[in-house]
Amino acid sequence: MKRLDYLKWDEYFMGIALLSAQRSKDPNTTVGACIVSDDNKILSVGYNGMPIGCSDDDFPWEREGCALDTKYVYVCHAEMNAILNYTGTNMKGSKLYVTLFPCNECTKALIQKGIREIVYMSDKYGDSDAVKAAKRMFDSSGITYRAYEPIHRDIILSL
């Protein structure tokens, strides 16, 4: 008997990205990422958080104020963490599953590592200059990106 209700690859890998996001201590935005080889092997995962050795309790998580008093100059994004956590030698041709569309800075690193496709869950900052720049770079370099489309409606994957 053929089983028809199994998880498709997109659901599986986005689920891992969502689970990774739960490690984030950011009180406002949790993001997770999962990088997968072209033969559907997990290469690396990451979430948004402080760099190793920088305590989550000693650095700010604020969104407004003087730059040095906000999270933005300290936090390492999920995509960057996934790249930096990778212990292999080659990501060329891989795919990124991420819960939030990448910013322009992460996009540069994703392009340089040879990632060929981005599957994202949310594009809530799609009107920002950072995401517009990211999409322009992806388009220019031939990297495809698409919104995650759940197949099984009875499986709830959410941020």
Pairing of strands 117-122, 32-36: unpaired
Q: By the 8 A CB rule, do 114 and 142 touch?
A: no
Query: What pLDDT score does 158 carry?
Result: 56
Catalytic position from the list 62, 64, 79, 117: 79
Query: What pLDDT score does 6 carry?
Result: 76
Cα–Cα distance, 85 to 121 (Å, whole number): 22
Query: What pLDDT score does 16 carry?
Result: 97
DSSP letters spanning 27-78: SS---EEEEE-TTS-EEEEEESBPPTTS-TTTS---SSSSGGGSGGGTPBPH
Cα–Cα distance, 127 to 116 (Å, whole number): 23
Which tens digit of pLDDT belongs to each residue from 76-124?
999 999 999 999 999 999 999 999 999 999 999 999 999 999 999 999 9
Query: What pLDDT score does 124 carry?
Result: 96
Cα–Cα distance, 150 to 119 (Å, whole number): 12
Cα–Cα distance, 77 to 32 (Å, whole number): 9
Query: What pLDDT score does 111 carry?
Result: 98
Which tens digit of pLDDT belongs to each residue from 142-151?
999 999 998 7
DSSP letters spanning 81-108: HHHHH--SS--TT-EEEEEE---HHHHH
Residue 18 phi, psi dihedral angles, 5° rounding = -65, -40
Does the annotation count 149 as an active-site position? no
Which tens digit of pLDDT belongs to each residue from 22-73?
999 999 999 999 999 999 999 999 999 999 999 999 999 999 999 999 999 9
Query: What pLDDT score does 8 carry?
Result: 92
Residue type, 71: K
Query: What pLDDT score does 150 carry?
Result: 85
Phi/psi region, residue 65 (left: phi>0; alpha: psi -120 to 50; beta: rest), is left
